[in-house]
């Protein structure tokens, strides 16, 4: 098992290119199951989660070809059963339910299991499928959905912690081939949902309102192949913005969509860092000091939960007391104990982390608990005295394409080694 070793104290400068969005690519790849014709997807990041999705599509019978960042998929004849052994490693595998139900009117997909950041059930996905006239049941660890025909309906997908991103995409994909009109109220407005809707539109789907809380889908008889480029990954971009603020002199991010990052750039600006923002690039000017900030995570366009851990790392060095309140996944603070091992002064009060900035962090062996926690620990290591060893970095490979190489390109002293334990 690999670990990442970070030698702190090196200043970052230069330019980094942001990869395609993992959270866009996964449902877009699944959406290729909606047609028999070939689909070509560009800017697909090289990540373990992407590898798992392509394995699932291959297992279902799709022909998959990959060349660099481009994936070509033709799902001429596919199975409707995805067993546990191929879906267990990735929760997003449930997003094949919608396209299989839409095209074949049935699907059987094994539940992939729990998540360390908290319970993330698929009840809203099933609520949406039932509204479309599908029967749904869970037995022996499998989700089974089937219908004689799918019929358009109005369904509210707002959950207790806000809209469901994967659920919105799943129901939207199934509804593209349903009879009549489907209206999703309480829809997720994330850019990744818009990207999926744009791809489906290129396939011939009729979708309006993506990016708002109300999406309307007019069902069509069939969809055709299409070519599409995945949007830049706003969470990877946000992570590098924090890295630049923590340890940078002048760092420029290229291939970004600045509009998708407003909540993050506002937070970094509030923390006292100067930014030069253009449509497809952002430059951060580090000043070695952060002001305290008070953040609350919210569904898009609010501050993203996927940037919470990284901001905790930044604010651990702020001049004063900050707070970060997690409303989307209240249990998502596994990184706090590891940051405290590095000298951070953080106290948890329910779903709020109260962070008293310290003058210095110290390198230490730490354990990554999830994808974004992994990134936060690497970022903290950039400014810590001495050496930080981040173990279980298979988490980070789920969502960051070559993060160690990209940081090295900016001047960080970082290495990936095989863990002998």
Q: Which residues are catalytic?
A: 115
CA dist 199 to 30, 111, 204, 317, Å?
A: 11, 26, 9, 42
DSSP states of 35-65 as a string? Answer: -SS-EEEES----HHHHHHHHHHHHTT-EEE
18 CA to centre of own chain: 14
- Residues comprising the chain, all counted: 421
Cα 373 from Cα 308, distance rounded (Å): 9
- Helices 308-315 and 334-341 cross at an angle (nearest 10°) of 30
| Strand segments (E) across 75-218 | 81-82, 106-110, 135-139, 142-146, 154-156, 158-159, 162-163, 181-185, 206-208, 214-218
What residues does 390 pair with on adjacent strands?
4, 366
Selection from 238, 233, 223 nearest residue 195 by Cα? 233
Q: Can you read off the two tokens belonging to residue 286?
A: 């580090």
* Kind and range of the H or E run holding 308: helix 308-315
> CB-based burial of residue 294 (10 Å sphere; 0-12 exposed, 13-18 middle, 19+ buried)?
middle
Name 186's Cβ contacts closer than 8 Å, sequence gap at least 6: 156, 157, 158, 159, 163, 213
Q: Can you read off the two tokens belonging to residue 44?
A: 């697909």
Tokens 């009729």 belong to 206
């Amino acid at each position: 098992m690999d670990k990442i070793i970070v030698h702190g104290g090196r200043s970052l400068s230069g330019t980094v290119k942001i990869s395609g969005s993992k959270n866009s690519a996964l449902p877009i790849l699944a959406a290729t199951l909606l047609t028999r014709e070939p689909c070509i997807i560009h800017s697909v990041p090289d990540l373990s989660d992407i590898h798992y999705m392509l394995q699932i599509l291959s297992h279902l019978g799709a022909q998959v070809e990959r060349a660099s960042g481009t994936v070509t998929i033709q799902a001429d004849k596919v199975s409707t059963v995805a067993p546990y052994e191929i879906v267990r490693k990735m929760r997003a595998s449930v997003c094949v339910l919608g396209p299989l139900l839409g095209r074949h009117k049935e699907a059987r997909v094994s539940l992939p299991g729990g998540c360390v950041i908290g319970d993330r059930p698929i009840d809203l996905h099933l609520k949406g499928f039932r509204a479309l006239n599908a029967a749904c049941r869970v037995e022996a660890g499998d989700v089974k959905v089937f219908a004689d025909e799918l019929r358009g309906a109005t369904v509210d997908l707002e959950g207790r912690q806000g809209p469901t991103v994967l659920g919105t995409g799943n129901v939207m994909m199934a509804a593209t081939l349903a009879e009549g009109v489907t209206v999703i109220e309480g829809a997720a407005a994330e850019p990744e949902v818009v990207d999926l809707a744009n791809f489906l539109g290129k396939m011939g789907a009729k979708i309006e309102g993506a990016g708002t809380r109300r999406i309307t889908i007019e069902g069509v008889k069939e969809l055709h192949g299409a070519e599409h480029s995945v949007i830049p990954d706003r969470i990877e971009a946000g992570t590098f913005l924090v890295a630049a603020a923590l340890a940078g002199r002048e760092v420029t991010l290229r291939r970004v969509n600045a509009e998708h990052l407003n909540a993050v750039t506002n937070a970094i600006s509030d923390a006292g860092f100067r930014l030069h923002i253009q449509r497809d690039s952002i430059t951060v000017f580090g000043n070695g000091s952060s002001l305290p900030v008070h953040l609350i995570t919210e569904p898009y366009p609010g501050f993203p939960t996927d940037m919470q851990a990284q901001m905790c790392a930044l604010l651990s060095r702020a001049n004063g007391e900050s707070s970060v309140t997690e409303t989307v996944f209240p249990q998502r603070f596994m990184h706090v104990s590891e940051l405290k091992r590095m000298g951070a002064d953080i106290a948890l009060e329910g779903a709020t982390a109260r962070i008293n900035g310290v003058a210095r962090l110290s390198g230490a062996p730490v354990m990554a608990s999830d994808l974004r926690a992994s990134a936060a620990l690497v970022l903290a290591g950039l400014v810590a005295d001495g050496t930080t060893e981040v173990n279980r970095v298979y988490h980070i490979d789920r969502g960051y394409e070559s993060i160690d190489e990209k940081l090295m390109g900016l001047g960080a002293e970082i290495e990936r080694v095989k863990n002998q334990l």
